[in-house]
A and B are shown apart, each in its own frame.
Chain A
């Protein structure tokens, strides 16, 4: 029963979502919107579970009780403490001063959270540089072809390249539109087929990993 009931629910949900996609009847739209609403409700409740687990784990880390060194809780403690303060502070600020322009909540968001997110995003530029340095080493013939193609694309995409020659820009677009696109589409076909068969496996009950790992 522990397996059969979830499998039946999964099959019915999958079948209903599949059938409604091919219908323009108002009932199909209503069913679709109803399922989406249910999904939002389930997500909201699991968010409580997630936040509760986060608070529990954070409090464990910052508590004075002895933690096993292998768990890494001692090194996590300052970060967990800051995140717990942030978690408590933001709702308090929102409830006390609202979320409108000029409110303390928005000030914290604009001057602390947004810059921190931008900082992490900007790290990507340095990581792209270090990854490219490793990736574009001409050790083998395919790696050399990749390096030359990358150089063409890099040079062809900068505005100054147009002043020298038009053929460089043309070569860049040719690389992107033909060999690169062909490879991407081949991978995308594989991904599409993989996604579809995985979905079918789940709907038909062949794949049961999500049921406590049962296959």
Chain B
């Protein structure tokens, strides 16, 4: 029985190139190379959103959506933002509500928020009851979150994670109660809804760059830089294939 599956060769090559680029970026920054990250309005607005909720005396609502579980990179990325939001809400003594559809996400979110409160210097402001599991049913979850939004009227809503059809139901309800909304997801279909219904939308890789942007951690920032290098490589590949296809229409080496 063959150990290696030859049909996965292109994926292996691309994965190894990507790992090499990420490691190169991490090593470069450790040797003192400086990287800058462009301003992301959606992430810059987190302070304003939490400040607004504090001033209005209403809670902040954070939902990771219904579509994903903890192993999805989008959920991990949303946890990074939750950490910063939890720190800010603890600092300003603002209530943070986190309803979820997945008990594993609930357990991780409780730990992340607890640590956020600890970092802010207010461990007593952590409320475990506000990070809770509702249901695994998609529209049951959407109805419950809509109900919470309608009753508590949060001044700020964060819709960051994996969303499906429930995205617009939640975003429009948030819009109806006048909340400032910051959204981000990995689904291009749901992104269109968020752009229309929310004040700020994290598009594409912006959601994944949040961790480095908010923490200013150099190692994380270096991986964001690696994303840019990889994007450049992909652009070069597409351009080469485009020119090649124009000169030799029968060629198809890039379709391996």
Closest Cβ of chain A to B223, distance in Å, is: 5
Question: From residue 88 to 130 of chain B, which have CB atoms closer than 8 A to chain A?
Answer: 95, 102-104, 106-108, 111-112, 114-116, 119, 129
Contact A195 B4 (CB under 8 A): no
Contact A120 B4 (CB under 8 A): no
Q: Is A190 an interface residue (CB 8 A)?
A: yes
Q: How many residues of A contact B (CB 8 A)?
A: 67
Q: Is B45 an interface residue (CB 8 A)?
A: no
Most buried by B among A76, A127, A131, A209: A209
With contacts A46-B103, A195-B186 taken as known, whether A187 is within 8 angstroms of B191 at the C-beta atoms is yes
Q: Is the interface of B mostly helix, strand, loop or mixed?
A: helix
Closest Cβ of chain A to B241, distance in Å, is: 14
Q: Interface with A: B34-42, B197-205, B245-253, which one?
A: B197-205
Report the Cα distance A90→B67, complex, angstroms: 25
Contact A54 B209 (CB under 8 A): no
Q: Is A154 an interface residue (CB 8 A)?
A: no
Q: Give which listed residue, B2, B57, B79, B111, contacts A24 with CB less than 8 A.
A: B2
Q: Give which listed residue, A24, A120, A132, A215, contacts B211 with CB less than 8 A.
A: A215
Q: Is A214 an interface residue (CB 8 A)?
A: yes
Contact A198 B73 (CB under 8 A): yes
Contact A25 B1 (CB under 8 A): yes
Question: From residue 179 to 215 of chain A, which have CB atoms closer than 8 A to chain B?
Answer: 184, 186-191, 193-202, 204, 206-207, 209-215
16 contacts between A and B (CB under 8 A): A18-B15, A51-B133, A116-B140, A117-B138, A187-B188, A187-B203, A189-B231, A191-B186, A201-B223, A206-B26, A206-B219, A207-B80, A210-B70, A210-B76, A213-B111, A215-B211
